[in-house]
Chains A and B, each alone.
Chain A
Amino acid sequence: MSSWRQFKAILKKDIVMELRTKEMLTSMGLYALLVLVVYYITLSQAGADFEVRRIAAGLLWLVFIFTSLLGLNRSLVHEKDQGCLEALLISPTDRPVIFFGKAVGNLIFLLIVEALIVPLFFFIFLARPGAQAGGPVWMLALALILGSIGIAGVGTLLATMSVNTKGKDFILAVLFIPIMFPLLLAVVAGSAAVLQADPEYVRTFWQMMGLAAGYDVIMLLAAFGLYEFVLGA
């Protein structure tokens, strides 16, 4: 039961720190807003009959993947800066507890940012008179959750490595995006199916969610198994 107590402590500490400084949420949220502005510029010349809905899923995940890089980096820099990670390693905390503590914290922050950005994105780009209706919201939410789990899990592993390198931000992006590729492809295809709601979209959606879930399981197991080595180095 001590592991549970330690897990809660790590999670609580991250949340308290975040609520106090709002460092991660403001930087991620603001960054996401800036990207939305860039999207407007991008789409401004596409013409009136261009259907944003067809690429909306991709645009949405693009915001999340880049904002998550920002958040992941911050989250691990906190541990690294004053050597706190060392203090955790020398304490009787199982390494997986540290992994799950950090990963779940990152997942929560990511989901909060998503919960803010998705409605905004929807109202800015998709809520047009006469626009066709998409699939149910819970489906999109499921895609977001499955995607975020993978991002938080793999991201925590890779960010723990990248904070110990020269040029952390850049290294994280270089490591993170190729590894995220299959998951992104699956969740973008899944979210696109929901947003477009073409006939038969439910089947495509579940197929893609199955792939995303499979990726999450495999990669989380791998990250879980490898984290101890990363911490030991």
Chain B
Amino acid sequence: MTDAALTSNALEVRDLSRTFGARKALDGVDFDLPTGAFLSIFGPNGAGKSTLLKVLSTLTPPSKGSAKVLGLDVVEGAVELRERIGFISHNPLLYPDLSAEENLEFFAEIYCIDRPKERIRELLDAVELDHRRLDLVRTFSRGMLQRLSIARALLHDPALIYLDEPYSGLDPHAMDILDGLIERVREGRTFVMVSHDLSKGLELCSHALILSKGRIVLFQDKDLIDEDEFHQTYRSTVGLGVS
């Protein structure tokens, strides 16, 4: 048994496959991601990006192989792992008929957070929504929703955060705010982002991964990436995926 805290890799994915009948959503995916890294996953539609995210976030078990997140197996350690991961999606994952504060209170109860009031105050301050805390989420703009959804994801102070197309549907201003927020909470956390937006993904990441047809086409440290070559690889996989 290795102690979870001592493992230096946030993700250890071994020969991970996810199949259903003849269809292979993931086919022998294998990589390590060090703690504190920012991984961007690219790939055409149907490449297996969301399936990979689902497996890593304990929503679907792998058919073959294994995945360890923060040193915990996604199947056996699922319950413990869920306490330590956060999730930000293009969907806000908030109840429109509850106020900002009530939404956070609800998720604070779900995560069994001690002293929820203070934590919620602190987070609402951080995402600059304190003045709107009593308003219904229904009335929020897209950018405000995304900020509140970040606050929700940070409630339980997760060590790893998944981002599923967080930029889709945001205007440039909201994008900047989101960038700033991610930058601020990046310290000490690992990020895994699925994105269509190549430039945004490359700008933020420390590691890049291209998936196509459930296989890894490229997995590289950002420092080693030659951008032109990277774009070319990406274009060729997208081309392949479309046929």
Contacts and interface: CB of A to CB of B under 8 A. Distances in A.
Do A and B associate with each other?
yes
Interface of A: 2, 5-6, 8-10, 12-13, 16-17, 20-21, 78, 81-84, 86-94, 232
B89 to A, nearest CB: 6
Given A82-B92, A87-B152, A92-B79, 8 more contacts: A6-B109, A10-B110, A16-B102, A82-B96, A88-B110, A90-B57, A90-B59, A91-B111
A2 B112 contact: yes
Contacts of A5: 109, 112
Contact of B87 (A20, A82, A87): A87
A8 B109 contact: yes
B93 A21 contact: no
A91 B95 contact: no
Interface residues of B, number: 27
7 contacts: A21-B97, A82-B91, A84-B93, A87-B87, A88-B110, A91-B82, A94-B79
Q: Chain A interface secondary structure, helix, strand, loop or mixed?
A: helix
Contacts of B93: 82-84, 86-87
Nearest to B78: A92
Which of A5, A10, A82, A92 gathers the greatest number of chain B CB atoms within 10 Å? A92
Contacts of A17: 95, 97-98
CB-based closest 7 A-B pairs: A9-B109, A83-B91, A87-B93, A92-B82, A2-B112, A17-B97, A92-B83
Nearest to A88: B110
A189 B112 CA distance: 45
B106 A13 contact: yes
Q: Chain B interface secondary structure, helix, strand, loop or mixed?
A: loop
A9 B95 contact: no
A230 to B, nearest CB: 13
A8 to B, nearest CB: 7
B208 to A, nearest CB: 24
A83 B58 CA distance: 16
Nearest to B102: A16
A21 B136 CA distance: 11
B97 A90 contact: no
A77 to B, nearest CB: 12
B150 to A, nearest CB: 13
A6 B110 contact: yes
Contact of B91 (A6, A78, A86, A88): A86
Given A91-B107, A91-B111, A232 B97 contact: no
Given A20-B97, A82-B91, A87-B93, A232 B59 contact: yes
A84 B95 contact: yes
Given A17-B97, A82-B93, A86-B89, A91 B110 contact: yes
Contacts of A93: 110
A47 B11 CA distance: 76
B60 interface: yes
A84 B82 contact: no
A2 B87 CA distance: 21
Contacts of B89: 83, 86
Nearest to B58: A90
A87 B95 CA distance: 11
Contacts of A87: 87, 93, 107, 152
B210 interface: no
A154 B107 CA distance: 26
B209 to A, nearest CB: 21
A83 B93 CA distance: 5
A90 B109 contact: no
Which of A87, A88, A93 gathers the greatest number of chain B CB atoms within 10 Å? A87
A149 B93 CA distance: 29
